Amino acid sequence: MEWFYAGCCVYLLAAFVSDIRSMKIPNRLTVPVTLAGAAAHLASGGWEGIVFSAAGFAASFSILFLMYIIGAVGAGDVKLFGGIGAWTGFSFGLHVIISSILYAGVIGIIILLLRRDGAKRLRTMVFNLFSFFKLGSLKLVSQEKSLKFPFMLAVLPGFISSWMYMTT
């Protein structure tokens, strides 16, 4: 099972380089690697392996697709996590998602604190969250004003942390 994580790690390193360079993770990377993960599970576990892979793909892809709909991640990240799920399965895929979101939050806070307009952005974010919980409405910030960074900065440490946690 350990070699599935290693195979996925190679995939993530390629996606990391692509995302850092261009803020994009291309289909020519995500699609073949996702299919390779499913094929590897089929070869090693038969139909149980393909069900394991499909469940991981479906869960990871679906959760990231919801994040894509609200504008939190890009389409490449959605397909990337589908591939992670296809290689590592349902449980590990969820661990990576949660860890990546936590790392992204820390990175976002650091960026906010280092920018000149960080205090203003932080006030706006707190106001938006307060409005959401108090009034049930969320005022979304336009894409030009949103804080962006390559999500792979959070995904790679999220994957490594999850791997260390799950294998100890």
Q: Which domain holds residue 102?
A: 2-116+151-166
Question: What is the number of structural domains in the chain?
Answer: 1
* Assigned domain for 36 exists: yes
* Assigned domain for 83 exists: yes
Whole-number pLDDT of residue 115? 75
CA atoms of 113 and 146, how far apart (whole Å): 15
Whole-number pLDDT of residue 137? 55
* Assigned domain for 35 exists: yes
CA atoms of 156 and 27, how far apart (whole Å): 19
pLDDT along the chain (168 residues), means of 10: 80 92 93 93 94 96 94 92 95 95 90 75 74 61 61 93 85
Whole-number pLDDT of residue 109? 83
Q: Model's pTM, two decimal places? A: 0.81
* Assigned domain for 134 exists: no
What would you report as the CA-atom Rg of the chain, rounded to the nearest whole angstrom?
Answer: 17
CA 137 to chain CA centroid, nearest Å: 26
User: Backbone dihedral region of 71: left (phi > 0), alpha (psi from -120 to 50 degrees) or beta?
Assistant: left
* Assigned domain for 157 exists: yes
Quote the longest CA-to-CA distance of the chain: 55
* Assigned domain for 144 exists: no
